[in-house]
Structure 1
């Protein structure tokens, strides 16, 4: 059974801790080991040290002999060669996986019509040179998978950005984004961020991706972002659903692989359509009374013993409930009897499956609606 996590949408070949670019088929994420207090800090320190060691090894592999410093002229000449064949009037620049360590001699600022610049999977540590880019034209900047440890103040000068991807870097603090008031998509997946902050000016933000960080609480900062439609917080250390009251436009919420024991705080998210809360500590399915527009619910990998509080979800099409403690076919049928549009269900690795291996699929089909077409990723014959 798939579990969802977020991921950037700027490039078709992208993958991250999450789904994105296409949320129709979410990618599977590993369940994070539950840590707390000083254990978290120790784990962070160990992770940082491992990354430093890996970085040294990567440098050795990328360069034979002596490692070339960033300010060495050979680096700049090599980087300049990468752009010599790009038409000066291009609106899209893509330099992926080229071991670029510095932006200085690329001189991307000379491409005055560039609306989208993609520099993913390089070795960039600093991006201060973006100050030379044409801020009037540039709307998309992709710096996914580099070695950036802070958000440069010069990014704040790119005032027409609508999409910014800083996923898979080493960023610890969200900052220097205040002027990006046109920003609609912000990707900060798989960094070292512990607090959701400094986003209050981003009133047009619709898609916020913070999966795979070190966040422990859902900050009240989100109360200042009423335009949010998609919020991805999977694989963090969050223990409670809170501060979602103002997100009336929220359509997708991904909170899988955290430490949540109760579904709550969603009363005002009346436009919620997709809810991913797999691999948490849930024992009961509740708190969705006002979320009547839900089409997809993912509760995989929890400790839920029975299905309940679903009979009002008439638009529900997908229920992913694998690896729980559900054991009663009749309970499944009763809980979903009003869900006339149910199309796909996952109940594998529940007692109801493991104790009835030969009759499981036949009984699921018998107890559920004729609209059902798929059980555990297999189409019904």
Structure 2
């Protein structure tokens, strides 16, 4: 039995007084007793991953906790977590939990990760009005039930490697769902109710029992679906049926781990147009008109989420006036612009090109303060400011949606939809 002491924490922390410590990292310590942490009532972020904890009751006094990771311990129960009413991110993956009922009291949760446990029933999550990420993969769950019937804020959901046979009407209320993963189950048909999830962009339903196009016909009613994985299903083994699926959902950008032909043609066409625009020796007035035409082309031929971003880049270019009339100067400027726009044109066609293990989510107090100041609710700005996003952000780039992300991602791997194995729900 390894017992944590205040002396150990004092030696590792440089924050001065213990009652002012807001973040502690204690992974890989073989800890089985952390009762001394009850004295840290201002603690907001705590990492106890890869230890030997069997209970969370020692943390019940850490009432200021907002981020808690206890990945890969020996937890049999979540008793004690119900006292942590300010929790926004909770990761209890890879333990020995059989139930999750204590979670119901955590009304402020934004991200809940319970993968690789022995949970068979999902408790009702009605109190979680801000929950946007739920991971329950690799649990023996046969039925989603009515656990999500009142949750409208879910954006990312993973129930891969469970024992699901049907989805039914379980997701009807999840009108903001963007990413859903049901790979490695026993699903034989996608329900008509899935049409309610009109914002769905990524759907991984590989390695199930889908046989016919009629089993997935509802997907044609999802206007924003860009990334679909059916690999491992009987329907994906027949080229004739796979072709019917592509025709049924012509707006797909990635299908069965490969970019679609229309997506590749669209990218090539836009890159060619950009190249011609940047190498043409034309007068400033004509160049401006050409820019306007290109903006129109981009908006018409790119997917909704990325066209605005690319068009914005081009519009900024049109605002810049040439300060030199010499052909040499014009070409130098054109070269610089070409590199910048080409980079954008490559990036806007990538669909959710990175994912991270949830162990790498880091709580950002600055973002929280900014969100508190705004005191608004939105797709990516929730009360308290914590939200999860798995799309890799460019350094220095501001979020276009209301609010700013209060969780930063430290590492990434390619997702299943782009040819790599998924780590999103690991």
Which range, TM-score by smaller chain?
0.5 to 0.7
Partner of 1:305: 188
- Return the offset for 1:196: 1.2
- 2:87 is the counterpart of 1:184: no
Match of residue 323, structure 1, among 207, 230, 236:
207
Deviations 1:117-138 (A, max 9, x none): xxxxxxxxxxxxxxxxx22432
Deviations 1:40-76 (A, max 9, x none): xxxxxxxxxxxx9xxxxxxxxxxxxxxxxx9xxxxxx
Q: Tell me the TM-score normalized by structure 2.
A: 0.57
- 2:95 is the counterpart of 1:213: yes
- Return the offset for 1:361: 4.9
Task: Describe the shift of the 1:112–1:195 C-alpha distance in structure 2 as closer, same or farther (beyond 3 A).
Answer: closer
Hey, what's the Cα distance between the residues in 2 that align with 1:157 and 1:103?
Answer: 9
- 2:26 is the counterpart of 1:143: yes
Partner of 1:280: 162
Hey, what's the Cα distance between the residues in 2 that align with 1:107 and 1:260?
Answer: 43
Q: Tell me the TM-score normalized by structure 1.
A: 0.63
Partner of 2:256: 376
| Structure with greater helix percent | 2
Q: How does 1:31-42 map to 2 (within 5 A)?
A: none
- 2:11 is the counterpart of 1:111: no
Hey, what's the Cα distance between the residues in 2 that align with 1:268 and 1:249?
Answer: 11
- 2:173 is the counterpart of 1:293: no
Secondary structure of the corresponding residue to residue 310 of structure 1 = helix
Secondary structure of the corresponding residue to residue 195 of structure 2 = coil
Q: How does 1:1-381 map to 2 (within 5 A)?
A: 108=11, 111-113=14-16, 134-150=17-33, 152-219=34-101, 221-264=102-145, 265-286=147-168, 287-308=170-191, 309-332=193-216, 334-354=217-237, 356=238, 358-359=239-240, 361-370=242-251, 372-381=252-261
The total of aligned residue pairs comes to 257
Secondary structure of the corresponding residue to residue 176 of structure 1 = helix
Tell me, yes or no, if the aligned pair for 1:247 and 1:268 is still in contact at 8 Å.
no
Secondary structure of the corresponding residue to residue 196 of structure 2 = coil
Task: Describe the shift of the 1:110–1:300 C-alpha distance in structure 2 as closer, same or farther (beyond 3 A).
Answer: closer
Hey, what's the Cα distance between the residues in 2 that align with 1:364 and 1:303?
Answer: 20
Hey, what's the Cα distance between the residues in 1 that align with 2:12 and 2:166?
Answer: 55
Secondary structure of the corresponding residue to residue 246 of structure 2 = helix
Secondary structure of the corresponding residue to residue 154 of structure 1 = helix
Q: Which has the larger radius of gyration?
A: 2
4+ residue runs over 6 A deviation: none
Hey, what's the Cα distance between the residues in 2 that align with 1:147 and 1:263?
Answer: 35
Tell me, yes or no, if the aligned pair for 1:222 and 1:243 is still in contact at 8 Å.
no
Unaligned runs of 5+ in 1: 1-51, 53-69, 71-100, 114-133
- Return the offset for 1:104: 5.2
Secondary structure of the corresponding residue to residue 108 of structure 1 = helix
Deviations 1:84-105 (A, max 9, x none): xxxxxxxxxxxxxxxxx99958
Hey, what's the Cα distance between the residues in 2 that align with 1:167 and 1:251?
Answer: 23
Hey, what's the Cα distance between the residues in 2 that align with 1:104 and 1:343?
Answer: 53
Hey, what's the Cα distance between the residues in 1 that align with 2:12 and 2:120?
Answer: 44
Partner of 1:3: none
Unaligned runs of 5+ in 2: 262-426
Tell me, yes or no, if the aligned pair for 1:160 and 1:182 is still in contact at 8 Å.
yes
Secondary structure of the corresponding residue to residue 275 of structure 1 = strand
Deviations 1:322-378 (A, max 9, x none): 00000112432x211221000111100100012x1x4465333211141x1111232
